[in-house]
Structure 1
Amino acid sequence: MAQEPTFEDLFRSARRSAYHLEMRDAYGLDDDYREWASGNRFDPAERWPWWIELVSAAVNRGVAVHRARIVSEPVSPYVRYEYELTGGHNVKAGEAVRWLPRRQASGLALPGNDFWLFDDESVLFNHFAGDGTMTGEELVTDPTIVSLCSSAFDSVWEIAIPHEEYRLA
């Protein structure tokens, strides 16, 4: 039986696009978040160089890497953490990042889980417990579900605010 590809396998094999939709106001409150919350404003590029390498390599081979975040306003402390790290982490790596206030997403049809969409061919859903801890991933290639996620991402991306222009509420 063939082994499912890992997230990194999917990312490294993307040819055209790797799109990520995040819809939670908090994720697992790990040591990095706790350190940041205590006042230590570390350099994310030094903390997670593997991400810079992974995304930069994809962008250099012509892959569009986009991340859209739907957030409640006023933002949670966790979203503030993400926002402050985005420029030195996601954008520095080559991602285009946009933010959509949740109140502007009410008219959009969205899947129930965060996901990565690769080349409009496969979706990797991220599953989380109520406390934000990741509980697993699910790879889906069903064209109907892939189309739903592609449409949802495009709808969010079209109205979301580029990171450089978004101001925390």
Structure 2
Amino acid sequence: MNLISGDAFREHFQPGVRAFHLELKDAYHVDSEAEPLRKWQAGEYDDHAWRRPWQGFLRERTDAGCVIQRVRVVTVPHSTYTRWLLAIAGDNVAAGEDIRYLPRHLAVDVDFPVEDCWLFDDDQLVLSVFPGDGRKGAFASETDPGLISRYRVARDLVWDRAIPHAEYVRSEYMQPV
């Protein structure tokens, strides 16, 4: 595992590339999300300016021909953090990202690796590494063929059974806030 910079990470999003993001945790504690999450919980207004750089990047890359996909494996009933992500994910979808949700109980047959990841096409793996407190994540490239294969198998098992965001928010898995 080799830690890489944010710039090196973004270089993977090239035209024609399938960028697949697998998220396995029910909550993250990223410092930059603390205040927006607090505002959402309190019913306060948030202009989402903190998200615009990423959404601009998504739009730019998808317009250039990069396919950006994400599956969030979630526990039902949802954590507060998952409910918040569900509430704000539409902006990423509008920017070109295909976000899907897979209730954890529907994925018991999947041998998930430990870390979240980005899998670019079938052979470039970047792990999303979070320390124990989850406050600050990092990116690490991984070249182990066995681990890459394991993530590829997980991706192929979850993608088709995961539910697109627009359908998921209307599904039986949603509970009142």
- Fold shared, TM-score > 0.5 on shorter chain: yes
Contact 1:21–1:68 at 8 Å: present in 2 too?
yes
Q: 1:12: which partner in 2?
A: 11
Q: 1:125: which partner in 2?
A: 127
Matches within 5 A, 1:1-169: 5-15=4-14, 16-28=17-29, 30-44=34-48, 46-88=49-91, 90-167=92-169, 168-169=174-175
Give the CA deviation at 1:127: 2.2
Give the root-mean-square deviation of aligned CA atoms.
Answer: 2.0
CA offsets, 1:21-77, max 9 Å, x none?
101111006222112222124243x33211112111111111110010000011011
| Aligned CA distance change for structure 1 residues 83 and 157 (closer, same or farther; 3 Å) | same
2:11 partner SS: helix
1:56 partner SS: helix
User: How many residues in Structure 1 have an aligned counterpart in Structure 2?
Assistant: 165
CA offsets, 1:116-158, max 9 Å, x none?
1123222121222444323533210222222211221121111
- For 2:100 and 2:69, the matched residues in 1 are separated by 8
| Aligned CA distance change for structure 1 residues 99 and 75 (closer, same or farther; 3 Å) | same
- For 2:163 and 2:81, the matched residues in 1 are separated by 19
Deviates more, 1:105-114 or 1:23-32: 23-32
- Structure 1: runs of 5+ lacking an equivalent: none
Specify the code of the residue in structure 1 equivalent to 2:142: V
Specify the code of the residue in structure 2 equivalent to 1:7: G
1:134 partner SS: coil
Specify the code of the residue in structure 2 equivalent to 1:21: L
Contact 1:124–1:137 at 8 Å: present in 2 too?
yes
Specify the code of the residue in structure 2 equivalent to 1:66: Q
Question: % of aligned pairs identical?
Answer: 34
Contact 2:22–2:72 at 8 Å: present in 1 too?
yes
TM-score by length of 1: 0.87
Contact 2:3–2:138 at 8 Å: present in 1 too?
no
1:165 partner SS: helix
